[in-house]
Chain A
């Protein structure tokens, strides 16, 4: 069913933002882990924005980011935050609720 989804009323889009500071190994790992999880679970229904706080430090305060890497699920609501390099896949999936279409919401 991975390629069969249609953007309908019940279709969800995962709008994600990953905060990093530079290109640290942790941040690189997080980016890879996030992409992989999204591809596996919500292929085509996600977007990932990478924000480097070194380039815009004040965003840390504005977006309330204390630790890196942090991924924020802006959509679907509610906003969720996961801190870490996302090596803990189970936490990542639960935290972002990256569930395949049609599976029951937890």
Chain B
């Protein structure tokens, strides 16, 4: 292979990208360059499309023109069939990037009489390669020749020769084959093209079809060995690795509001941007309302949101959410909100995923709500639903789309579709049935990487929207609904009673204070009276003493008595001082007094 020089020969095999992202991911870069790969599968599994995408991607995106040799359909039909996928084969043909050759092989027209070879096929491929400078060739489905030309031995030899010849030309080729009963292809052509074998499958399980792809063999290269679902959508062929090969998406720390302030608070500020929240709950617990709030909040922030419903029509959602005071139509009109509804069971897994991928691509939302994924598990067996959800979540996560997924959950903490491990945050809505009424409770079961409330809240839907309320937890358990209301009014009554009691007590005390103050005033008056009385008595006594002294003096004068050393007249006029602590100055004063008194 002298012409295989584009990728330096190293430990890694040089590869030709197919342009089918999932497939290139699985094969680590595409098909083996300069080799012939076999794509096998039963009728209608997408072999032709895979080949065509390989050619179109080469011609359009990788500067590698191609040649398609089809043995099943006319050029016009092939061109028309892929036009709906956005492939303009005519334009590529006119640009000299693609050559289409079709051979209609009608077994009834052909009779074999003796030895032959496939010379013309070589000749025309050679011619087409020469014209276009083709680096890629697709032969679709070469096994048709076996039916028409019968002679197996000759055909095997010729196909083997063709494969070697293509490799000598250095072109990367795809040969498609029909899946056989026990072998990879009906006529065993895998014997000649065995470097890379890709098998396509189309399975119907419980009336839902799923397409799968498997790299059966890839000589000299590591490859994903699983069966990967793939879809054929309006954008062509896409393979969806079950989980992205590496878990390497970003982990933003920015928070995104759920639109319910108290729920944000319970989550410590909202959901992480790009995280995946799961809401489970039985019927009528308000899952959709939670989702609608989330998109409403996103639109209010001016972000684009996508609401995908698997259970209700857009009109029904708009109407129902209006009853909760959410005007989603407004956001639709502003072009911020896209509501899409469809039953996954109607299309099968792959179309479902494809639709989702398409919606995400077109809408480029920052917030997505997937409402009612439980219908998925009706549509497909559990393990497939889980795998599909994993892919779905991956798809959203890698694009940093904050996602809220709601699912019908019957059990309590039983993982409905085993999606709990895929979700970063798990909210549980539960109905409680007490006193003949049902009320809604909300818990945060888990929330990765954020402190979150362990409290149960009552989840109330009303015309004013969604509200989270405290619940009463007491001996009777959690109280909700009218029991909560009763509890609330009882508490209010108790509060009123308490207030009244205090007021009354307060009034009594005030009255007592006033009474006592009045009494105090009276006593003080009395004391003052007593004092006055005392003073009065003291004064009267003094006068009497003075009068008595004067009388005695007058009497002495009358008797001519000598003035004795006894009491001076002034000293006796004052009442005796009360005894005080004996202090030197007092003593001095006393003597002075006595002296002065003596002098006076």
The prevalent SS among residues of B at the interface is mixed
CB-CB contacts below 8 Å: A51-94 with B: 53-54, 57-58, 60-61, 64-70, 79-89, 91-92, 94
Bound CA span A91–B120, Å? 22
Q: Which of A58, A60, A66, A70 has the most CB of B within 10 A?
A: A66
Bound CA span A105–B104, Å? 28
Do the beta carbons of B112 and A60 come within 8 Å of each other?
no
Do the beta carbons of B101 and A68 come within 8 Å of each other?
no
A95 at the interface (CB under 8 A from B): yes
Do the beta carbons of A66 and B114 come within 8 Å of each other?
no
User: Given A64-B104, A79-B109, do A88 and B118 touch, yes or no (CB 8 Å)?
Assistant: no
CB-CB contacts below 8 Å: B58-101 with A: 101
By a CB distance below 8 angstroms, the chain B residues around A26 are: 114-117
Q: How far is the CB of A62 from chain B (nearest CB, A)?
A: 10
Q: How far is the CB of A76 from chain B (nearest CB, A)?
A: 15
Question: What 1/0 mask marks residues of chain B from 91 to 134 whose CB sits below 8 Å from any chain A CB?
Answer: 00000000001111100011111111111110110110000000
Bound CA span A53–B123, Å? 7
By a CB distance below 8 angstroms, the chain B residues around A86 are: 113-114
Q: Which of B113, B124, B126, B145 has the most CB of A within 10 A?
A: B113
Do the beta carbons of B111 and A68 come within 8 Å of each other?
no
B149 at the interface (CB under 8 A from A): yes
Partner of A67 from B101, B102, B149 at Cβ < 8 Å: B149
Q: How far is the CB of B124 from chain A (nearest CB, A)?
A: 4
Q: How far is the CB of B341 from chain A (nearest CB, A)?
A: 48
Do the beta carbons of A84 and B115 come within 8 Å of each other?
yes
Partner of A61 from B102, B105, B110, B111 at Cβ < 8 Å: B102
Do the beta carbons of B123 and A66 come within 8 Å of each other?
no
By a CB distance below 8 angstroms, the chain B residues around A53 are: 119-120, 123-124
By a CB distance below 8 angstroms, the chain B residues around A24 are: 117, 119
Do the beta carbons of B114 and A60 come within 8 Å of each other?
no
Do the beta carbons of A84 and B109 come within 8 Å of each other?
no
Bound CA span A89–B113, Å? 7
Q: Which of B116, B117, B120, B127 has the most CB of A within 10 A?
A: B120
Q: How far is the CB of B425 from chain A (nearest CB, A)?
A: 61
Do the beta carbons of B103 and A61 come within 8 Å of each other?
yes
Interface size of B in residues (CB-CB distance below 8 Å): 24
Residue on A nearest B110 in the bound complex, by CB: A81
A21 at the interface (CB under 8 A from B): yes
Do the beta carbons of B124 and A58 come within 8 Å of each other?
yes
Question: What 1/0 mask marks residues of chain B from 121 to 154 whose CB sits below 8 Å from any chain A CB?
Answer: 1011011000000000000000001000100000
Bound CA span A59–B145, Å? 19
Q: How far is the CB of A21 from chain B (nearest CB, A)?
A: 4
By a CB distance below 8 angstroms, the chain A residues around B111 are: 80-83, 91, 94-95
A14 at the interface (CB under 8 A from B): no
Do the beta carbons of A70 and B116 come within 8 Å of each other?
yes
Bound CA span A53–B102, Å? 16
Do the beta carbons of B121 and A66 come within 8 Å of each other?
yes
By a CB distance below 8 angstroms, the chain A residues around B123 are: 21, 53-54, 57, 60
Do the beta carbons of B117 and A19 come within 8 Å of each other?
no
A30 at the interface (CB under 8 A from B): yes
Q: Which of B104, B115, B119 has the most CB of A within 10 A?
A: B119
Q: How far is the CB of A48 from chain B (nearest CB, A)?
A: 15
By a CB distance below 8 angstroms, the chain B residues around A70 are: 116, 120
By a CB distance below 8 angstroms, the chain A residues around B127 are: 57-58
By a CB distance below 8 angstroms, the chain B residues around A85 are: 113-116
By a CB distance below 8 angstroms, the chain A residues around B145 are: 66
By a CB distance below 8 angstroms, the chain A residues around B112 are: 82-84, 88, 91
By a CB distance below 8 angstroms, the chain B residues around A30 are: 114
By a CB distance below 8 angstroms, the chain A residues around B116 are: 26, 67-70, 83-85
Question: What 1/0 mask marks residues of chain B from 224 to 259 whose CB sits below 8 Å from any chain A CB?
Answer: 000000000000000000000000000000000000
Q: How far is the CB of A92 from chain B (nearest CB, A)?
A: 5
By a CB distance below 8 angstroms, the chain B residues around A68 are: 116-117, 119-120
Q: How far is the CB of B421 from chain A (nearest CB, A)?
A: 55
Do the beta carbons of B118 and A67 come within 8 Å of each other?
yes
Q: Which of A19, A33, A53 has the most CB of B within 10 A?
A: A53
By a CB distance below 8 angstroms, the chain B residues around A94 are: 111
Bound CA span A29–B114, Å? 10
Do the beta carbons of A61 and B124 come within 8 Å of each other?
yes
By a CB distance below 8 angstroms, the chain A residues around B114 are: 26, 29-30, 33, 84-88, 91
By a CB distance below 8 angstroms, the chain A residues around B103 are: 61, 64, 66
Q: How far is the CB of B303 from chain A (nearest CB, A)?
A: 55
Residue on A nearest B111 in the bound complex, by CB: A95
Bound CA span A69–B149, Å? 12
Residue on A nearest B120 in the bound complex, by CB: A60
By a CB distance below 8 angstroms, the chain B residues around A79 are: 109
Do the beta carbons of B113 and A84 come within 8 Å of each other?
yes
By a CB distance below 8 angstroms, the chain A residues around B101 are: 61
Do the beta carbons of B113 and A87 come within 8 Å of each other?
yes
Bound CA span A19–B149, Å? 16
Q: Which of B101, B104, B115, B118 has the most CB of A within 10 A?
A: B115
Residue on A nearest B122 in the bound complex, by CB: A21
Do the beta carbons of B110 and A82 come within 8 Å of each other?
yes
Residue on B nearest A54 in the bound complex, by CB: B123
Q: Which of B116, B118, B121 has the most CB of A within 10 A?
A: B116
Residue on B nearest A68 in the bound complex, by CB: B119
Q: How far is the CB of A56 from chain B (nearest CB, A)?
A: 9
Do the beta carbons of B119 and A67 come within 8 Å of each other?
yes
Do the beta carbons of A80 and B109 come within 8 Å of each other?
yes
Q: How far is the CB of A94 from chain B (nearest CB, A)?
A: 7
By a CB distance below 8 angstroms, the chain A residues around B149 are: 66-67, 83
Bound CA span A80–B101, Å? 21
By a CB distance below 8 angstroms, the chain B residues around A69 are: 116
Bound CA span A67–B113, Å? 12
Can you list 19 residue pairs at the A/B interface with Cβ under 8 Å?
A: A24-B119, A26-B115, A26-B117, A57-B120, A58-B127, A60-B123, A61-B124, A64-B105, A66-B149, A68-B116, A68-B117, A70-B116, A70-B120, A80-B109, A85-B113, A85-B114, A85-B115, A86-B114, A88-B112
Chain A contacts to B: CB under 8 angstroms: 19, 21, 24, 26, 29-30, 33, 53-54, 57-58, 60-61, 64-70, 79-89, 91-92, 94-95
Q: Apart from A29-B114, A70-B116, A83-B111, what 4 extra A-B contacts exist at CB < 8 Å? A: A26-B116, A53-B119, A67-B119, A83-B112
Q: Which 6 A-B pairs have the closest CB atoms?
A: A84-B114, A91-B113, A21-B119, A57-B127, A60-B120, A87-B114
